[in-house]
A and B are shown apart, each in its own frame.
Chain A
Amino acid sequence: MDPVFAPAGVLLAAAVLEIALARFLSRAAKGWLACLGAGLATLPVVAMAAKVLHGDVLTATGLAWDSGIPIAYHIDGLSVLFMLIATGIGTAILLYAVRYMEHEEEGTTRFYVLMLVFIAGLVVLVCSANLLVAYVAWEVVGLCSYFLVGFWYKQEAGPNGARKVLVITHLAGYGLFAAILLLYMRTGSFLWTDAGPAFSTGIALLMLVAAMGKSVLFPLHTWIPEAMNAPTPVSALLHSACYVKAGVYLIARMYSIGPWHPALGNLLLLVGCLTMLIGAVFAVAQTDLKRLLAFSTVSQLGYIVTGLALGTDLGVAAGLYYTVSHALFKGTLFLCAGAVQHAAGTRDLRKLGGLSGRMPVTTAVWLVAAAAIAGVPFTTGFVAKWLLFDAALEAKQVLVVFVAWAVSLVTVFYFLKATVSVFFGSGAPEVRAEHIHEVAPSMRLGMGVLGALCVVFGVAPQVLMRVVVEPAVRALGFTWQIQMTWFGVVTGSGAVGVTAGAAAVVAGAALGAAAFGFTHAPVRGPVLVFTGGDPLPEDEALGAVDFTEIAEAAFAPVYALDPDPLYLRIWRGVMGVAESAQDFAVRVFEEHPVATVVGGATVLCCGVWLL
């Protein structure tokens, strides 16, 4: 077997072992086995990263998946980037899951098998040159997420979320399938490497619909908050490493399938900007920590897609760097949220509070990841945003810069709300209980590693750029002219504008820090807010609910953009048509079989004679 098949092979072998050894392994041992499998799968990916560093492409053809349909791999820089995310971050998440899932009384084998197949699905998707096999992998990823979101299938919330995941993403996935069929009709081949000029704007639009469903782009984003009633490792894998990144991969890959019409880029820019805005505004109104993170994923995916839509080397680099950065900080944030829920038994921001004293490591890791998502310097988030602003300025998309900047402010706002509500102030009586303590070391290690990488690649982003992002950008047919130094300082064109912008941001941050200092806000105890005069009485201090109410009042028109009521109307319309058809069929066909046979036969005979 060609070594390029090793990552998926190792993951699937681990899944088979999980099933075979299920009776003999403890719950923790199953977790360690899964973690080991994902870790081992990362090794060949690292080896492949070294091979594609200089623009080489690894190709291989395996056995025929179906008669005449071989499993054909085309591994370039883009494939490696996504494989590293899937296997690397997947390993950290599985490490975290060992102790997290240890207390589950049933279903741990099912959980680990699905997690491993989920990761393997993404690996096959990003490696496959055969679009039909890629579509199968795309749907395998979708099905795994469906089963994982519905992991607690005996409860109400999990299956409901899973249902929405399946319906929205599978229906959107028909776009990809239709695009594959159209490409096949034009080229007679399922290989995307054969597409060339056959890749029209219409086909690209169909692929875009599929990507929008997977990558929670507006208006197909509404499944993601409902998917939060899953075990936290699932949420982390869904949001950071695998699921939402599948759509990003598809959008990026479209650059190497064929030429884009500029109008498509503009459409994607619009979708990206709307998504980042709507995701952020909806995040502000959440009082459930994981739902807040879910909407922040929507918003961040908007950033990523905006970067890719710019269509310049800098824009694509920004989008891809942002992809890695988001995988790191969002994975960390979800694992922290899971640790909080694990320890406190709730993720309700109205009840949580004051956990920094009891969970110092989790707090520290959360703060690092929250700083990254907010774009604080020395983190990957800052570098990603910096690159994006630079790319947008260079492409003369000033409006995009403005929107991205405004959304950054909103992001800081809702992460401040989440951070203060969970870790500072004081919580409800049940979360003040003595039993709340820091999570197990392996869980801390899992989220700590990801959090640390947010800083490492924030301080030395040129390493990530050189080793991972540059080969990916080159694989998409762009040239590489980006000169990046320590801390993400870009020294190319457009850097002056971005530097001025960054200066304004730093000044704003300094001002905020000063304001925070002047209020003398205590670390623990009720959060006091500087009101411009005397502090508010203790019981009137602003909390998560107040933030939510303010947001709901301020952004009321935006909340009307929730597409769920429209989907519900469509569903009711379809059901109405189905019930009318049923009434008609019963009255006409089922109650009068003789007339049906005679009438139907007459109509058919007339048709045969007349046509």
Chain B
Amino acid sequence: MSELTLIGLFAGLALAVALYALSLPQGGLSWWGLAALTVALVLAGRAAGPSWGGVICLDFAELAAAALVWREGTDDAVRAARRYLWAIAPAIVCTIAGQALVGHGVTPPAAPMDKIALCLLLIGFALKLGLIPFYFWLPPVAAAAPPMTTALIVSVVDIATFAELWELRHTASWVFTEHAAIWMGIALLSMGGGALLALAQRELKRMLAFSTIADLGLLLTGVVAGSPVGLAGAQIGAVSHALSKVILFGAVGLAERRIAQPVTLDTRGLAARLPLVGAAFVIGALGFIGVPPGLGFAGYWRLYVSGAEYGGPALIGALFLVAALDLLCYVRAIHRVWLGPAQVVVNGAPAALAQATVMVLAVGIILLGLYPGMFTTAVGFAVAAVR
């Protein structure tokens, strides 16, 4: 996937977030300023490509995102922002130091610098992406921040960080090939642990945060496998992840605003009062977990193929197990929260523009999933491994 495609994706997502926030305010001027700064830094980082300028822009984007959470001002938000910063600060140091040692070189530095570099990169990226066990900042941020703040973090900042990782796969592939077991281990732990922890959540925004962790673990398997089909799967999966999370957080945000309380598994029958928002959540959820014909499946089938090639039936079994947990988790959320008789008071109609935004995105992931060739051919995912 080219830089231009990524920039287009992030710009599109930023536009969706802005339209949503215009209709359903997420904060005052400071929110708009910090959100714009975050997006601008991500776009600048991507435009700079794999260079020090790009790395520094993305690191500043992380800090701007943390400030975006902090500005919310509530006790929970400030506490979440502190945790976020506590994760980001060492992560920035680790990734910069790691990349300095690696120097974007195709050959590893001399021992023991190669292992030190690897350790630094592993810790840095795991902290930034919230992989297990370094996930402690993401669920509190999701619960405390406004939905579009979280959407910006998981759909724009996190995916931009993930893009750094797949670039590293191209520029310094030894980082992955020589210690693939460690990378795959952390990917599987995040995938399985995230899915399991998501299932245990009662609050929807925390559940969405844990499922983000699980999905990033799955995407990481494609990067670690490193085959063309695996990398394409990770990239398409990342696009689907970004779109779906804006829909999901957006739908929950719309519902929360109308019921004036957090959406939990005890909030029943929301779709009876907010049918379009409910439809968007259902589509976003099923698309996110890779149920055809959502866009997610176009990424998932590639990841499964690469998993089969890389790890054989054992890895395939693990992927299916996590997919089953994801399904159980999201189906429970759909049925406990959205479907069935309304058992919650909903005040007024949802913000029209915000609702339209999530609906357009939902229709988009269905159309792209029905005919993924429209997207994959356009952005050049000619998967050589597939006949």
Contacts and interface: CB of A to CB of B under 8 A. Distances in A.
Interface of A: 63-69, 132, 135-136, 139-140, 143, 150, 153-156, 159-160, 162-163, 166-167, 170-171, 174, 177-178, 181-182, 184-185, 188-190, 571, 574-575, 577-579, 581-582, 585, 588-590, 593-594, 596-597, 599-601, 604-605, 607-609, 611
B304 A181 contact: yes
Nearest to A592: B136
A155 B196 contact: no
Interface stretch (B14-22, B70-78, B339-347, B353-361): B339-347
Contact of A68 (B136, B196, B325, B383): B383
Given A65-B373, A574-B328, 12 more contacts: A69-B386, A143-B293, A155-B340, A160-B335, A163-B334, A174-B320, A184-B308, A578-B200, A590-B136, A597-B134, A604-B182, A611-B181
A594 B87 CA distance: 9
B146 interface: no
Contact of A163 (B316, B325, B335): B335
B331 A166 contact: yes
A506 B382 CA distance: 65
Given A63-B373, A174-B323, A139 B182 contact: no
Contact of A64 (B122, B293, B377): B377
Contacts of A185: 305, 308-309
B331 A153 contact: no
A611 B86 CA distance: 29
B305 A174 contact: no
A608 B182 contact: yes
B111 to A, nearest CB: 11
B136 A136 contact: no
Contacts of A153: 271-272, 278, 339-340
B133 interface: yes
Grouping DSSP codes into helix (H, G, I), strand (E, B) and loop, the B interface class, with mixed when no group exceeds half, is helix
Q: Which residue, of A153, A170, A585, has the highest number of chain B Cβ atoms within 10 A?
A: A153
A189 B387 contact: yes
A67 B382 contact: yes
B83 A593 contact: yes
Interface string B269-303: 10110000010000000100001110001100100
A181 B304 CA distance: 8
Contact of B373 (A64, A143, A578, A582): A64
A593 B271 CA distance: 37
A167 B139 CA distance: 27
Nearest to B369: A136
A63 B376 CA distance: 13
A67 B376 contact: yes
Contacts of B313: 182
A581 B269 CA distance: 29
A605 B122 CA distance: 9
A566 to B, nearest CB: 16
A581 B335 contact: no
B224 interface: no
Nearest to B201: A582
B371 A65 contact: yes
A153 B313 CA distance: 38
Closest 3 pairs between A and B when the two form their complex, measured CB to CB: A582-B200, A159-B339, A68-B386
A67 B272 contact: no
Q: Which residue, of B196, B201, B371, B372, has the highest number of chain A Cβ atoms within 10 A?
A: B196
B118 interface: yes
A136 B340 contact: no
Given A154-B269, A171-B327, A178 B316 contact: yes
B272 A167 contact: no
Interface in B144-188: 179, 181-182, 185-186
A206 to B, nearest CB: 10
Contacts of A574: 199, 325, 328
B137 interface: yes
B179 A611 contact: yes
B81 to A, nearest CB: 13
